[in-house]
Structure 1
Amino acid sequence: MTLRREAFLDRVQERGEYPSRREADRAARVVLALLGAHLVGGVRAQVAARLPEDFALILLNPLQSAEPLSPERFVRATAAWIEGATEQTAAWDVGAVLSTVADAVDQDLLGQILLQLPAGYDLLFGHPMPA
């Protein structure tokens, strides 16, 4: 089931404790553009199918990534794309968006997402995996 745009942004805004919907939207766009560069094939399409249309398009037309970023570098890249962000605020942005994505997909798809990402992303999605 696809989340409506308002519901998706409400969750991101609440989790990120953003004062405005605009800030939640900006965080979602940056994080999804970076995430899309790391997912391939059917997994990316399945995640996109669960997102509101404008966010799905961002995920499907990602920024190009030469190599998969470690979770730390993913947070740093997010900080670089959000004006005025620090690594601490970017970590918050990433967690707010990716935990909302995790809620939009089922456990099986989340597992497939995590298989395509370097180790440590489970924490960014708010779903720590047993060691």
Structure 2
Amino acid sequence: MTVTTVPPTPARENDWSDLVERVRRNGHYATPAEAERITRTVLAALGTQVVADERVALARALPGEAARIIAAQIPARRPLTGPEFVASVATRSENAAALATVRWDVSSVLSTLPEVAGDDLVDRVLAQLPPGYALLFGRAELIPAR
């Protein structure tokens, strides 16, 4: 398994604090430190789920520190559904939070990604993930009529 590395540029490094601040505002977190901890945890979990071209594109679109977090993860053997993903983030969390709180944290980070990486890339990422992620990214999940 090859791990993709994305070399940082000074502008991308400065964007890390902007990403954390966006997450802080979106999630209404009290401190930047709390928002950064949550951002790191969620991005690490996401790095196990996004693969192939979308993984590389996402790493390139995000600030250098976020790209390193995603690229450092080993892809999961089996993709997780949205609810399983939230549960996996709960196991990575430093404090034992209720699933509703973890879901809020996940959404606070993932709903920020379209602002940073763009809607087209997020659409591609969502297309490769199993059902249950759209709401976490702040999008409606449309289910075809039968």
Relative to the length of structure 2, the TM-score reads 0.82
Residues 1:89 and 2:101 are matched in the alignment: yes
* Distance in 2 separating the partners of 1:74 and 1:130: 19
Distance 1:50 1:129 in 2: 24
- Identical-pair percentage: 36
Asked if residue 65 in structure 1 is aligned to residue 94 in structure 2, the reply is no
Which structure 2 segments of 5+ residues have no match? Answer: 1-10
Aligned residues of 2:51 and 2:75 also touching (Cα < 8 A): no
Q: Which residue of 1 aligns with 2:113?
A: 101
1:30 matches 2:21: no
Partner of 1:113 in structure 2? Answer: 125
Aligned mates of 2:22, 2:122 — CA distance in 1: 18
Assess if the C-alpha contact under 8 Å between 1:38 and 1:116 holds in 2: no
Secondary structure, counterpart of 1:4 in structure 2 = helix
1:51 aligns with 2:62: yes
Q: Which has the larger radius of gyration?
A: 2
1:75 matched residue in structure 2: 86
- Whole-angstrom distance in 1 between the partners of 2:81 and 2:111: 17
Gaps of 5+ in 1: none
CA displacement, residues 12-69 of structure 1 (integer Å, 9 cap, x when unaligned): 0111111111111111111111111111122111111121111110111115523111
How many aligned positions are there? 131
CA contact (8 A) 2:42 2:109 kept: yes
Q: CA–CA distance in 2 between the matches of 1:6 and 1:112?
A: 25
